[in-house]
Amino acid sequence: MNTSSGNTVKVLLIEDNPIHVGLVKTLLSESKSPFFQLQYAGTLQAGLNQLDAAAVDVVLLDLTLPDSEDLDTFIRVRSFAPTVPIVIVTGLDDVKLAAKAVEAGAQDYLVKTQLSRTSLIRSMRYAIERTRVRDAEWDSPMFRLAQRQFLKAAQFMGLDDNIRQRLLFPQRTLVVTLPFRRDHYTEVETVFGYRVQHILTMGPTKGGIRYHQDVSLGEVSALAMWMSWKCALVHLPFGGAKGGVRIDPTGLTSHELQRLTRRFATEISPIIGPDKDIPAPDMGTNERVMAWIMDTYSQEKGYTVPAVVTGKPLVLGGARGRNEATGRGVVYLIQEAAKHLKMNLSECTAVVQGFGNVGSHAALFLSELGVKLIGVSDATTGVYNRHGLSIPSLLEYVAQNRFLEGYPEGDHISNEELLELKCDILVPAALQNQITAENADRIQCKLLAEGANGPTTLEADEVLNEKGVFILPDILANAGGVTVSYFEWVQDTQNYMWTLDEVNQRLKSILQDAFRRTLNRAQKNQFDMRTAAMIEGVERVAQAKLARGLYP
């Protein structure tokens, strides 16, 4: 364990029960490597004073103290020392509260009656290591969200600690810097790119490639982790992966985009391939980008390898229906949720944030079912019309003008205002982190279908669950894309193409099955839909890991 003072770990125990203080002292005193230097305080105030005076590596915290109680205790320690790892020590009666503290950012919790030397030392070690790695490399709000969602599910399902620690970070990450020429020939731009493979247990890995100015290792790792749960939830034989380049693609010409893509494909080619890892489109990329990746990879191999990417043009072995599959899947799931909630879709209103691949298709298919679309948006503006918007007319406008800005048949509103419109169905289909503690209580929909990955924070989840909003979580709601990508990969590896009807029928039945399993689990165990979907996915991965055993 690497700490501020070499092999000595400075532990601050804030606990008022002398019996437990004695127990921790005894457990830690037996360890020589690392050596634990234990200080303790019987009140929160005394603990904060000691935290102020000494460099502490980890805090062991009882939430019930003479001068502070419940989550407040954790929040006060966390705000006093934002970067110090905190492990909650709790009585059996307060496990739920301890789990809440973990959701709020504590690294772990331990039940006092189950405390052993191994569990105590291990928990502190992981807490310290996780904090160090996160601060150094993975730090991003999205990765923290993905880890916290996973930890929440892991606690609810009592996941084996060995597997829990393994799944918290990706198995493989590749960070590349790559140069490409601008159209001005002497100008060379160097950018960062990533490919992350979260878990290789399930088969090849699968996940999109994102071009966006905010892409980071943390963001890509979060997306890769979500892909693992998503693939497992819908029973696809893939682990999760994701890739990205930190660049705003809207500022590139088509030639620049092609040179960038080909160089990125070359940089990641050692770790991708039909049996290894299969990229697909995500934000800022599309079928044209996939065609360039496929061509670059094939040139390097010396023969055509269609199955190296999915989401390709039809003429190169793309699947019928792949382009619209994510939006179509969102709408199949909305239909299932509406049946469950007894909502008549032809009397419903909907709002869609993001008018790219996912958002525009979801809006189109909803409108075809008779849903009245009253608001849509993209990066430039929101458009609102309480009488209903014409989606074909919006699509035509965007095809000509690229963005919604200036669209004449509606009022122009901000993205913040759009999310808060009163409607039956809200589909965030743009970016992560859109529904937060700040705006959650102003969200007015009955059904939230997450087309985007990670649009809702855990704090917002809680507010929405309390308000009774039914959530189709991202790993379920947008699983249609990877499902049809799977069909494309199957077709390419077998050289046998399916009809559009076959694709859509199979997609529908896979998503309906995943919806039913998630809803059953949620109802049976009183979980929210996100936790139920996460557990469906995590459980399958855990079972596969146990079945394969540990190498070597």
Nearest approach in angstroms of CB 391 to ligand NAD is 14
Residue with smaller CB distance to ligand NAD, 258 or 360: 360
Q: Which of 254, 58, 84, 226 is nearest to 145 (CA)?
A: 226
∠ CA 328-332-337, rounded to 5° = 140
Residue with smaller CB distance to ligand NAD, 323 or 491: 323
Nearest approach in angstroms of CB 226 to ligand NAD is 9
Q: List C-alpha distances in Å: 269 to 154, 249, 309, 385, 459.
A: 34, 21, 11, 47, 39
Residue with smaller CB distance to ligand NAD, 395 or 497: 395
Residue with smaller CB distance to ligand NAD, 78 or 210: 210
Task: From the candidates 206, 242, 508, 545, give the one annotated as an active-site residue.
Answer: 242
Nearest approach in angstroms of CB 482 to ligand NAD is 7
Q: Which amino acid is at 432?
A: Q
- Under 8 Å between Cβ of 328 and 504: yes
* Residues that bind ligand NAD in the complex, under the rule CB under 6 A: 281-284, 326, 353-359, 377-379, 415, 429-431, 451-453, 478, 481
Nearest approach in angstroms of CB 264 to ligand NAD is 17
Distance CA 69, CA 171 (A): 39
Residue with smaller CB distance to ligand NAD, 59 or 142: 142
On the CB side of 192, CA atoms within 13 Å amount to 11
DSSP string of 6-65?
BTEEEEEEE---HHHHHHHHHHHHT-TTTEEEEEEESSHHHHHHHHHHS--SEEEE-S-B
Token pair of 272 as six digits: 């991708």
Question: Considering Cα of 162, then 167, then 172, then 176, what sign does the dihedral take?
Answer: negative
Q: Which of 278, 397, 104, 390 is nearest to 378 (CA)?
A: 397
- Under 8 Å between Cβ of 239 and 206: yes
Distance CA 330, CA 324 (A): 10
- Under 8 Å between Cβ of 345 and 371: yes
Nearest approach in angstroms of CB 447 to ligand NAD is 18
DSSP string of 192-261?
EEEEEE---TTSSEEEEEEEETT--HHHHHHHHHHHHHHHHHTT-S-EEEEEEEES-GGGS-HHHHHHHH
- Under 8 Å between Cβ of 198 and 225: yes
- Under 8 Å between Cβ of 316 and 294: yes
Residue with smaller CB distance to ligand NAD, 28 or 431: 431
Residue with smaller CB distance to ligand NAD, 4 or 213: 213
Q: Which amino acid is at 286?
A: N
Nearest approach in angstroms of CB 390 to ligand NAD is 17
Nearest approach in angstroms of CB 393 to ligand NAD is 16
For tokens 């382009």, the residue is: 323
**Looking only at Cα atoms, what is the longest distance across the chain?**
74
Token pair of 470 as six digits: 């039914």
Residue nearest to ligand NAD (CB): 356
Nearest approach in angstroms of CB 175 to ligand NAD is 20
Residue with smaller CB distance to ligand NAD, 91 or 313: 313
Nearest approach in angstroms of CB 145 to ligand NAD is 13
Distance CA 295, CA 496 (A): 20
For this structure, is 301 an active site residue? Answer: no
Residue with smaller CB distance to ligand NAD, 13 or 283: 283
**Residues designated as active site:** 242
